[in-house]
Structure 1
Amino acid sequence: MADDGAPVTSYKEGGFADEGAGDLPIKVHICAPSTLPEGFVFEAEVGDQNAKKTISVEVPEGGVVEGQVFLIDLPADFAVGEPQVNIPTGRWKDGTFDVLKAGPCHPSLWCSMCFTQVAMGQVLQRLRFNWLGSSAPEAATKNTFKVVLALCTCYAIFTVSLEMAEASTNYYNVPAWIPVLKFIGGILFTVYSIYALMKLRENVRAKYSIPEESCIGMEDLCCSMWCSCCVVAQIARHTGEYETYQGSYCSETGMAAHTPSIV
């Protein structure tokens, strides 16, 4: 789909897109500038490097230590009058398996199905999370997509190299170290993929006040293990407002260049 800036055809989620959108506040991650006591008020900048705004932050109960990341409610009047991506709160925009909601040819669908970890990297960059799926200081999140893409590329090269080495030997004389390395590499990449997606989903739920619906305490892990491509596509739809803004196959955020940043 071309990034020409034109609105895309809207889709309807059976009321999920609008219901609850204003019932609960969107939350924003704040990184504590120093160790501060409970109730202390300080100024913090939120937004990306191109559109930062300053808000007053009150330190939550128990205080915070330097570098700690915590969630606060975003002020209701934040970015009033400015274009922003409309992201529902309180519930998912649509279901985990509603993969065709944005259309059968949408980038979020095909990237999630064919290149799940790359699509995950796009969503992580969109939300300014780090490569492990968590909020972090700006310096640790500005290259998230590149880090995830590099990990995927290295794993692909690693796997193909071992396959070539295996193919170049006699079937009955394959060195024992080749299948061992393939097994270890596969396990490590799988564990990373599940963990990062689990943390991404967990933090998206926290940010948009979305409760667990099943497997209480284990929902994020279970979904990430068994339905990873569908989970990535769902989070992409939830945070993309594809009714208004176009998706993109070849951008770091999976969105067209004109799309407003997410706070």
Structure 2
Amino acid sequence: MIRSSSCRSTESNLAAERASTKFDADQTALIFGDISINNNDQNAKIEKETSKMASEDYVNVDEGEIKPLMVSVTAPASLPAGYTFEALLNDDPSRPFLCEVPEGGVEEGQRFLTPLPMNVQEDRINAPTGRWKDGLFDCFEPGYCHASWCCAFFCSKISMAQIMTRMSLTWLGEPGQRVATNNTFKVVVLLLVSYMIYSISLEVASLEYGPRNTPTLIVALKLVGSFLFGVWSLYSLCRTRQSVRQQYSIPEEHCHGCEDLCCAFFCTCCTLSQMARHTGEYETYPAVCCSTTGHPPGTPLTV
């Protein structure tokens, strides 16, 4: 009897230990389960915050808006606002990125500006967005004999052609496909040389005549040539400055609505020098007068 009672007591103790062990295991599982749930919630929270940051690429830590770098894109089809598609930067197949159709939608073949995602990592000229790098009259900021202002003052069309090439603009100062902008520098130089030959030819033709006896045809040709070349020079410079402002999200500060025109007409050389400094990273790459971009060969473009 004593042995039987002892056995029953031992069995009771073992059962109690098993129950205690089971309770501890269940409690441990419950605790770890809570940790797992909390970890899942934490991961979800982190993913949500990461997604939020990804959608706010242009907001800095001080909650101040950082102006985006804008690029020109050609719509592949008629698309509604908010539609996202893969575009090619300057129509280069090796440089794809995702862009979103702006408000109002776009028509097939229409060119529009869209922010370049900040996760697009590639070599390009670094320049501030939302403001000019320096003032309009800071021409001597890089140096008193710097190529940027020398070209702007002594050969303004060459300076404009270099800026157009950096920005991948056409000879009219407008964004275009890379195929059309590769030869912008050559086109501008050809226009300049053609106008010089045209003007010199008319001057030579009028040498045998006196000021009062110059044929009306020669006078008319001089006026027409000067007018057309002047209109192109003013328009292309105005559009180039507008394209620079749009790409770098720089707002107008004075003469709202006609600031680009006023700067191009009244301050041609200073305007060219300012754009050359903004689109040229002279702190890293040296300035060169005789080149298509104003930088040595191999220097990256602005986009």
Query: What's the TM-score bracket when you normalise by the shorter of the two chains?
Result: 0.7 to 0.9
Which residue of the other structure, out of 63, 68, 75, is the alignment partner of 1:25? 68
Whether the aligned pair in 2 keeps the contact of 1:112 and 1:230 (CA below 8 Å) is yes
Match of 1:68 in 2: 110
2:76 is the counterpart of 1:36 = no
Match of 2:9 in 1: none
Counterpart Cα distance in 2 of 1:120 and 1:260: 18
Counterpart Cα distance in 2 of 1:181 and 1:103: 41
Q: Structure 1 residues 171 and 218, CA, compared in 2 at 3 Å: closer, same or farther?
A: closer
2:138 is the counterpart of 1:98 = yes
Give the length in aligned residue pairs. Answer: 239
Where has structure 1 moved over 3 Å in runs of 4 or more? none
State the TM-score, normalizing by the size of structure 1.
0.86
Which residue of the other structure, out of 182, 203, 228, is the alignment partner of 2:222? 182
2:82 is matched by which residue type in structure 1?
Answer: G
Give unpaired runs (5+ residues) of structure 1.
1-21
2:258 is the counterpart of 1:218 = yes
Aligned-pair CA distance for 1:215: 0.6
Match of 2:95 in 1: 53
Counterpart Cα distance in 1 of 2:146 and 2:166: 17
**RMSD in angstroms over aligned alpha carbons?**
1.7
Match of 1:244 in 2: 284
State the TM-score, normalizing by the size of structure 2.
0.75
Counterpart Cα distance in 1 of 2:289 and 2:91: 22
1:70-85 equivalent positions in 2, closer than 5 A: 70-79=112-121, 82-85=122-125
Whether the aligned pair in 1 keeps the contact of 2:91 and 2:177 (CA below 8 Å) is no
Shifted more, 119-128 versus 133-142: the winner is: 133-142
Counterpart Cα distance in 2 of 1:60 and 1:262: 23
Match of 2:206, SS state, is: helix
Q: Structure 1 residues 146 and 193, CA, compared in 2 at 3 Å: closer, same or farther?
A: same
Counterpart Cα distance in 2 of 1:93 and 1:103: 15
Q: Give identity over the alignment, percent.
A: 47
Q: Structure 1 residues 55 and 173, CA, compared in 2 at 3 Å: closer, same or farther?
A: same
> Over alpha carbons, which structure has the higher Rg?
2
1:117 is matched by which residue type in structure 2?
Answer: K
> Which of the pair has the greater relative contact order for Cα pairs under 8 Å at 6+ separation?
1
Which residue of the other structure, out of 222, 241, 250, is the alignment partner of 1:201? 241
Counterpart Cα distance in 1 of 2:223 and 2:147: 31
1:77 is matched by which residue type in structure 2?
Answer: N
Whether the aligned pair in 2 keeps the contact of 1:47 and 1:262 (CA below 8 Å) is no
2:128 is matched by which residue type in structure 1?
Answer: P
Whether the aligned pair in 2 keeps the contact of 1:48 and 1:261 (CA below 8 Å) is no
Counterpart Cα distance in 1 of 2:208 and 2:78: 58
Give unpaired runs (5+ residues) of structure 2.
1-64
Aligned-pair CA distance for 1:261: 2.2
Whether the aligned pair in 1 keeps the contact of 2:170 and 2:181 (CA below 8 Å) is yes
Whether the aligned pair in 2 keeps the contact of 1:26 and 1:208 (CA below 8 Å) is yes
Deviations 1:119-160 (A, max 9, x none): 101110111011111112222212111111111111111111
Aligned-pair CA distance for 1:48: 7.7
Match of 1:28, SS state, is: strand
2:114 is matched by which residue type in structure 1?
Answer: I
Match of 1:44, SS state, is: strand
Match of 2:129 in 1: 89
Match of 1:150, SS state, is: helix
Whether the aligned pair in 1 keeps the contact of 2:88 and 2:97 (CA below 8 Å) is yes
Aligned-pair CA distance for 1:31: 1.2
Match of 2:199, SS state, is: helix
Counterpart Cα distance in 2 of 1:181 and 1:83: 47
2:159 is the counterpart of 1:116 = no
Match of 1:9 in 2: none
Aligned-pair CA distance for 1:173: 2.1
Q: Structure 1 residues 252 and 107, CA, compared in 2 at 3 Å: closer, same or farther?
A: same
Aligned-pair CA distance for 1:47: 5.0
Q: Structure 1 residues 47 and 138, CA, compared in 2 at 3 Å: closer, same or farther?
A: closer
Shifted more, 36-45 versus 154-163: the winner is: 36-45
